Amino acid sequence: MTTIKGPGIFLAQFMGENAPYNDLRSICQWVKSLGYQAVQIPTWDPRCIDLKKAATSKTYADEIKGLVEECGLSISELSTHLQGQLVAVHPAYDTLFDGFAPPELKGNSAARTNWAIEQVKYGAKASQHMGLTAHPTFSGSLLWHTFHPWPQRPAGLVEEGFKELARRWIPILNYFDECGVDVCYEVHPGEDIFDGVTYELFLEAVHQHPRACLLYDPSHFVLQQLDYLAYIDHYHQRIRAFHVKDAEFNSSGKQGTFGGYQSWANRAGRYRSPGDGQVDFKSVFSKLAQYDYSGWAIMEWECCIKHPEQGAIEGASFIRNHIIRVTERAFDDFASSGTDVSANRKLLGLD
């Protein structure tokens, strides 16, 4: 068994225009003061990092790593969630997702896809430069608009969708393999990989690629009413990253899992700060420790009620109090009668 590392924090939701949230050094100093030990860096935010430069210059990558370490922190992972989303985009979402790419690519979906693939590969090389072995991202989606089977899906549509998704990702996965880094797909609504079944469809399409791993975030499974503890039993060998994010599901006579077109505060399923929702984090941390998860526990703040600063302050102690220092000996060792092959065989009636 392994003691999970933490607490860490994902910086994406905290970056802003005002100090201490407007540059990497000041926000690192802030999160260090709250008790965090690591930061997960959003690579699309130039206030944090120049991703291309970190991929092409080991010196620059070392400078970013050194800056974080000067603040008393580690870098847990680099994230390309937004760029990974753009690896596969259905035309229905072109306008909405154009905002994730540089302005000059607006309206040019082919160029945007090529840019996204290049960006994710930069994430692999930058991670290698920094000595990181896990890389969170999204898979993107070509099929999400068909997740409810009405109108009826034509035979072979799902298979063709995953075949194309795999065609785009296999070269990326191979490059990550060259760099010694795992791709950690965040299983998330809006992606073609949104639950265990779709992850298995993707794994089959990429020929069980060893680098096609997972970021575990139980909040998305609460919203889907999926057993998030059994999920760990099924996929623990592929889990390489972990977001500590809470959620709650409160169905009513008017809405359920689909949530209508309500705001986050009014949906049946909504994200909450750690400890304010329904996730059984004691069991989550226990299972991950039992299965030798050796990565970081990273607080991701997404709450429709609580202020982000309060969420960040509470998140550090919440994670720290849930990390289990695993035992190095059995609790009944005091009663051990020792090991003796001859005696054991006698007890079995063999001698």
Give me the pLDDT at residue 336, please: 75
Amino acid found at 341 = V
Rounded CA separation 214/208 (Å): 13
Q: What is the model's pLDDT at position 315?
A: 98
What is the pLDDT at residue 334? 65
Q: Which CATH superfamily is domain 5-347 in?
A: Divalent-metal-dependent TIM barrel enzymes (3.20.20.150)
| Residue 112: per-residue pLDDT | 98
State which residues of the chain have pLDDT below 50. Answer: none
pLDDT at 342: 87
Confidence (pLDDT) at 339: 75
Which pTM value belongs to this model? Answer: 0.95
* Conformation bin of residue 207: beta by default, left when phi > 0, alpha when psi is -120 to 50: left
Q: Give which of 132, 125, 107, 242 is closest to 187, Cα–Cα.
A: 242
Domain boundaries, the chain: 5-347
Going 67 to 69 to 72 to 74, the CA torsion angle's sign is positive
The model's pLDDT over 288-311, given as tens digits with 9 standing for 90+, comes to: 999 999 999 999 999 999 999 999
At 335 the pLDDT is 65
Summarize pLDDT for 169-204 with one digit per residue, the tens.
Answer: 999 999 999 999 999 999 999 999 999 999 999 999
Q: Please name which of 78, 77, 206, 76 lies closest in space to residue 139, comparing C-alpha atoms.
A: 206
Q: Cα dist. 310→86, 222, 302, 305, 314 in Å? A: 32, 23, 12, 11, 6
Q: Is 34 exposed, middle or buried (0-12, 13-18, 19+ CB in 10 A)?
A: middle
